[in-house]
Structure 1
């Protein structure tokens, strides 16, 4: 992540502070940006680094099925981002299966910065995607809003395993919006935008 809020990505929701390569988010993929209170559901990650997502209702119509597919694609994208930031590399994470090249480019910038600084993340973000809006067309599109909680998502020095200090003014829980498109039978994240407002 960069010190500025990430625009037009995927996931990344992670943003790295320019001087300390501190996470703010990717996205991205990730972002250790947000407001102050912590989510009890956000716990240190298991090896899978899967972000915590709010459960959704079972689909009972075509519209509900599409909304559920959008939420599943978004959650999968975050899972892949979280895995990538945990090793500062997208290799073997499945990011390309869930995120378009435009969105992936911003995540890869973050990952390059992290590798150069010798940093990775531990733990995982808690995501709470809601209200997907799906529109038909030649290429169906969807948007959704999320409250990303990075309380338990930590940037560390890979060698020392010590936490990297982040700006005290950063948001720890923040509102994020995502755009997706349906490519064939599959929903892909085309853009992730972290807002400056807390949730």
Structure 2
């Protein structure tokens, strides 16, 4: 496996330069796009039940609550990435709050490459994450699929403020997957993988 094939997140700058159909910009979260998903409270009852109930909570409501928590963590992780890419640095961002060191490795590499090249991003991507699976266990895991739209997320030369030329064959909208694990009460993004598949 080449270093390019191992690239799994961030801007995939190295991949853009070496693969014909490489992804130019990889996802980042937009809190505004998914603000409603971050509300994990699903209990709409404000009064106690007049009679005791022996019916357990609906499985679907439990799944919905878990899904909302996963989407919120995923969205927060990418919101922090968007901020980091906008200044080519993870300093003073919330990247570590919902992203593990393993997932941060590729992001930090991208930021280093961008910093050396004098590049930052402007604008924001549009994300559309969906939880595919949540699995219980000692360490609960979740899988998220997403369609990333980088139309308005532009790699820019910091000095000239002009867009950096990128291959016209790159995917502007593409599929991405993420793996998350629940550490205590917090869902953490552990892996991000861009797919060479349009969406």
Task: Give the TM interval when normalised to the shorter protein.
Answer: 0.7 to 0.9
Per-residue CA deviation, residues 33-81 of structure 1 (Å, 9 max, x unaligned), is xxxxxxxxxxxxxxxx757348549746222111100000000011000
Establish whether residue 182 from structure 1 lines up as the match of residue 189 from structure 2. Answer: no
Establish whether residue 52 from structure 1 lines up as the match of residue 28 from structure 2. Answer: no
The answer to whether the 8 A contact 1:180-1:189 is kept is yes
**Which residue in the other structure is 1:193 paired with?**
193
Per-residue CA deviation, residues 146-183 of structure 1 (Å, 9 max, x unaligned), is 00000000011101101100100000000000000000
After superposing the two structures, state which structure 1 stretch, 121-130 or 14-23, moved more.
Answer: 14-23
Runs of at least 4 residues of structure 1 off by over 3 A? Answer: 3-8, 17-23, 49-60
Deviation at 1:133, TM superposition (A): 1.2
Q: 2:12 aligns with which of 12, 15, 31?
A: 15
In proportion to residue count, which structure has more helix? 2
**Which residue in the other structure is 1:41 paired with?**
none
What 5-or-longer segments of structure 2 have no aligned partner?
A: 44-60
**Which residue in the other structure is 1:43 paired with?**
none
The answer to whether the 8 A contact 1:6-1:25 is kept is no
Quote the Cα distance in structure 1 between the aligned partners of 2:149 and 2:80: 17
Deviation at 1:4, TM superposition (A): 3.8
The structure with the largest alpha-carbon Rg is 2
**Which residue in the other structure is 2:48 paired with?**
none
What 5-or-longer segments of structure 1 have no aligned partner?
A: 31-48
Alignment of 1:151-190 (within 5 A): 151-190=151-190
Normalised by the length of structure 1, the TM-score is 0.78
**Which residue in the other structure is 1:35 paired with?**
none
Indicate how the Cα distance of structure 1 residues 167 and 55 shifts in structure 2: closer, same or farther if over 3 A, else same.
farther
Alignment of 1:62-81 (within 5 A): 62-81=62-81
In the comparison of the two structures, how many residue pairs are matched?
A: 175
Matched position secondary structure for 1:126: coil
